[in-house]
Amino acid sequence: MLVPGLAPYDAVSNDTLGMTAALRALGHEVAVFAPHSRDVAEAVRPHAEIDAWLAGADDVLVYHYCIGWDFALDLLRRTKARRVVRYHNITPPEFFEGWSEGYVSACTAGRAELDAYAALDCELYLGCSPFNLEDFLKRGVDPGRCAVLPPFHKVEELLAAAPDARRLGSSSDGAPELLMVGRIAPNKGDFALIDALTVCRRMSDPRTRLLRIGKLDPNLERYGVAVREHMHAMGADAAVVSIDDATPSELRAAYAAADALVMMSAHEGFCVPLVEAMALGTPIVAFGSSALAWTIGDAGIVWNEPDPHLVAMSVMRIHTDLMLREMLRELGRARYRDAFSPAALAGNLEAAFARFAA
């Protein structure tokens, strides 16, 4: 298992470690290699040692592709092991134009390697969603060498956490509460999210709040300033509770407090917060861009445009319609159980790797 880095609360890290545990449970010997790691419960080996560990054609190398990395590309070109490209999606650089030259450069470099990985004709390409796999299918990769495997996650740990709402502040009893979970970045739809909050406050209840859980990378500070300026222009400063370092207990409390997880993102390769909401019984309202519609399935209200009025009206309807709210909760829990639970993911992984036994 090769990954560019491992850290807590990171989706790629969670998938790497979850896949490692699932493969070990199936009886395989698995080692994880990375150039750096911190605070993870895994003995991570230096990436430079991976050649010595791969003995030959009976081994399988799984590379978690999420950035540009010459070392990984060179390794997949020379190794005699069977190769699996686990693609986590790389955001197109145009989302960061005008906000961060560094992000534009990194995303450009990462996506520039798609052609090279497609040309390698690896034994298996694992996408987190059908949307992800399109990056390889349109480059001519054999569909028979592709499979969809949703990412492993830490949702079961979230389900076991005791809610802690102290930092969420006092909710306005009876007023709608919106929730967004995810880093603050230009592809996440923060402006449309604030607009939807504003519509709710104007048309439903001026006490409506937005719980915004997620970090802002210092390299995107220009974008963060623009979001705060828009928030101020909409008169929503006091209506937004921002937490950039939420614990699992605080995240559990935020899902419990919200009428809906509102996801306005314009580009996602999967979106784990949707799965968290399903498992915890929080209704979902979303713009059905990229992989979002597939991830949600029938377990939420999905619009084909990021219209703040449509989103706001959906949240208001969920807030007042008990039957709709309970239906969405049950649909979410069912989709989590059938498609994204640990048992479902382990079954999908076993089926994907069964081709190596043929």
Q: Which residues pair with 260 in a beta bridge?
A: 178
357, pLDDT greater than 70: no
Mean pLDDT of the region 19-25: 97
55, pLDDT greater than 90: no
Q: What is the pLDDT of residues 215-268, one digit of tens each?
A: 999 999 999 999 999 999 999 999 999 999 999 999 999 999 999 999 999 999
Q: Which CATH code for domain 156-340?
A: 3.40.50.2000
Confidence category of residue 146, pLDDT binned at 50, 70, 90: very high
CATH topology identical between 11-152 and 156-340: yes
Q: Which CATH code for domain 11-152?
A: 3.40.50
358, pLDDT greater than 70: no
Q: What is the mean pLDDT of the chain?
A: 96
Confidence category of residue 98, pLDDT binned at 50, 70, 90: very high
This prediction's pTM: 0.96
pLDDT at position 67: 96
What is d(CA 316, CA 259) in angstroms, rounded to the nearest whole number?
9
Domain extents for the chain? 11-152, 156-340
